[in-house]
Structure 1
Amino acid sequence: MLAATFARGRVTVLRRAISACAAGEGLRGKRLEDFVLAVNEIITNAVLHGGGSGRLRLWAQQGRLWCEVTDHGPGLPPGWMGSSRPPSGHDTGGRGLWLTRMLCDHVTIVSSPGGTSVTFSAVIEQATG
């Protein structure tokens, strides 16, 4: 449905395209806002911590909207991926992955020294009539 590369200057444009695609697939209201916020957090992380650029794929499958963001940065620090605790109020970062875990239905993170891939989804609720 959507595949794009991104870098620092393209985050806003990409976020708008994601919002339009997600709405076109049936995400509405708070679910749409939460999903777009999660995408924004992950692509911003890729730009700031993952080498300055990345690749995004967005698709719908079996009642879910999926997003995969990959970068070629240094990977996450050892021991960081398993934490589901919120960052402390004194931390200046570290909220993007935590927030994505809170906002999305499914989150998978694969990280190595060659880069990080974050895949997450939101259930598309069917309209009842």
Structure 2
Amino acid sequence: MSETTDGMSYSEPDDLRAVRAFVTERAIALGLPAGRIDVLTLAVSELTTNTLQHTSGGGHIRVWADNGRLVCDVVDGGLDRPFGRAMPAAEAIRGRGLAIVERICDAVYTAAVPGGTLVRICLDL
């Protein structure tokens, strides 16, 4: 695990606590309203957990503010993630994480990047 001012890398399940703490600290510093910090933390937790469950090599997260939005990129070595999906049934064992992320964030984008995929989530400040 490594950290910079606006980003950090993660590669082990034990890193998820540090990821959540990092995201919370950045959100506070960037002025995200207190009631929205849990939303951001939940979305990032879903994305980074997916990284660790479905890819190898971990990932990198970056958080900053731009044009009245808090922006968070999660980059990993995984395949492109389909968004725009229906919410799986309540009894479904898996598959709800990305659908939840889409519904709780103000905007979600995904793009292929060299060596993997970037998922960008945005929350209005």
Q: Which TM-score applies when normalising by structure 1?
A: 0.82
Q: Residues of 1 paired with 2:8 and 2:36: CA distance?
A: 22
Residue 10 (structure 2) aligns with = 6
Question: Is the Cα–Cα contact under 8 Å of residues 83 and 102 in structure 2 kept in the other structure?
Answer: no
Residue 127 (structure 1) aligns with = none
Deviation beyond 3 Å, 4+ runs, structure 1: none
Residue 65 (structure 1) aligns with = 70
Q: For residue 27 of structure 2, give the secondary structure of its aligned residue in structure 1.
A: helix
Question: Is the Cα–Cα contact under 8 Å of residues 50 and 115 in structure 1 kept in the other structure?
Answer: no
Q: Residues of 1 paired with 2:101 and 2:112: CA distance?
A: 16
Residue 98 (structure 2) aligns with = 97
User: Which runs of no fewer than 5 residues in structure 2 stay unpaired?
Assistant: none
- Which stretch shows the higher mean deviation, 7-16 or 80-89? 80-89
Q: Residues of 2 paired with 1:115 and 1:22: CA distance?
A: 26
Q: Give, as a single letter, the amino acid of the residue that structure 1 aligns with 2:77.
A: H
Q: CA RMSD in A?
A: 2.0
Residue 28 (structure 2) aligns with = 23
State the aligned residue count. Answer: 120
Pair 25,82 (structure 1): closer, same or farther in 2 beyond 3 Å: closer
Q: Residues of 2 paired with 1:121 and 1:30: CA distance?
A: 15
State whether structure 2 residue 49 is matched by structure 1 residue 48.
Answer: no
Question: Is the Cα–Cα contact under 8 Å of residues 83 and 99 in structure 2 kept in the other structure?
Answer: no
Residue 120 (structure 1) aligns with = 121
Q: Which TM-score applies when normalising by structure 2?
A: 0.85
Q: Give, as a single letter, the amino acid of the residue that structure 2 aligns with 1:115.
A: G
